[in-house]
Structure formats: C-alpha cells, structure tokens
Amino acid sequence: MFIGFRAAEDRILAALAEAGYVDITRAQARLLAGIDLGGTRLVTLADRARIPKQTALALVNGVEAAGYVERVPDPSDGRARLIRLTARGRGVLPLAIAEEARIEADWQALLGVRRMRALRRALWDLALSADPDLHPPEAPERKEA
C-alpha cells in the first residue's frame, strides 16, 4: 500500500511542479490536503497529518509564506484561528484532483474494472477499521458484494 501511495503522491507533486507549483514540499502537500474548504484549526491539521502541533505549525508557516494559506479568525470561537487556503492554494486543487483521476484511470487500465472496484472496497474497509469516523465518497459502491 505504501509503494502505491508514494507513487501516486510522486505523480501529484510532479503534476503540480509542471504547472508551476514548484515550492510545495511533500510534507506541505500532505498538510494542505487536510485543509477543509472553510478552513481548519492547526490542531486538527496536526491530528489529520499525524504530526506534532509544532511540526504542523512549521509547515503552515512555510505554506503561508509561500502564499498558499492564510490565518483567519474562527467564526465559532473568536480566540481561535483557522488555516484557510488562499486563491493560490485553491489553484492547486483542480490540478491535484485531475492527476488523481489519471492515476485511478491508469490503475483501472492495469487491474480492470472488477479488480479496481474490489481494491477500492478493500481499501475503504481497512480505512474504516482504522478510523470509523471516515465517510467514503462512494458509499453506494461499498454496498455491492
């Protein structure tokens, strides 16, 4: 699983670099991927990335300096701040999503439709066993046996 993940991550980072986003590190990309569209608290980002809060803070400082995120007041708690994607940060999303789709298409071409569907189900089963709060994006497909 790690080899497939790493290969997909490499392709996404290469696609971003080809589009001119050459200043995003692998660690920063992982952190950026955890930001909700409305913004996310630093502690939540650290938890999602499974890194210490201090490490998350250093990564946020880097992507903030590069113009990918900004810190804004949390409307639900005036004392807290949210990390939110800027226009530049949101510009990365369609590129990453398009590369993910190409990766899935390549994997499906290799495995075939049936085996790809089985792989997706198996990976979601494993993910949900590790984190029952996850919400699979393709819930109807999971119900097939």
Model pLDDT for residues 46-67, shown as the tens digit of each residue: 998 989 999 999 999 999 999 9
Q: Is residue 19 part of a domain?
A: yes
Q: Which residues contact 37 (CB under 8 A, 6 or more apart)?
A: 85
Question: Can you list the positions of beta strands (E) in 31-75?
Answer: 69-74
Using CA atoms, how far apart are residues 121 and 130, in angstroms rounded to an integer?
14
Using CA atoms, how far apart are residues 91 and 82, in angstroms rounded to an integer?
19
Question: Can you list the positions of beta strands (E) in 50-128?
Answer: 69-74, 77-85
Note the pLDDT tens digit of each residue in 76-113.
988 899 999 999 999 999 999 999 999 999 999 999 99
Number of domains in the chain: 1
Nearest alpha carbon to residue 32 among 1, 5, 6, 66: 66
Element spanning 93, H or E: helix 87-111
Q: Is residue 21 part of a domain?
A: yes
Percent of the chain with pLDDT over 90: 82
Domain interval for residue 93 = 2-111
Global confidence as pTM = 0.83
DSSP state of 40: B
Q: Is residue 58 part of a domain?
A: yes
Q: Is residue 117 part of a domain?
A: no
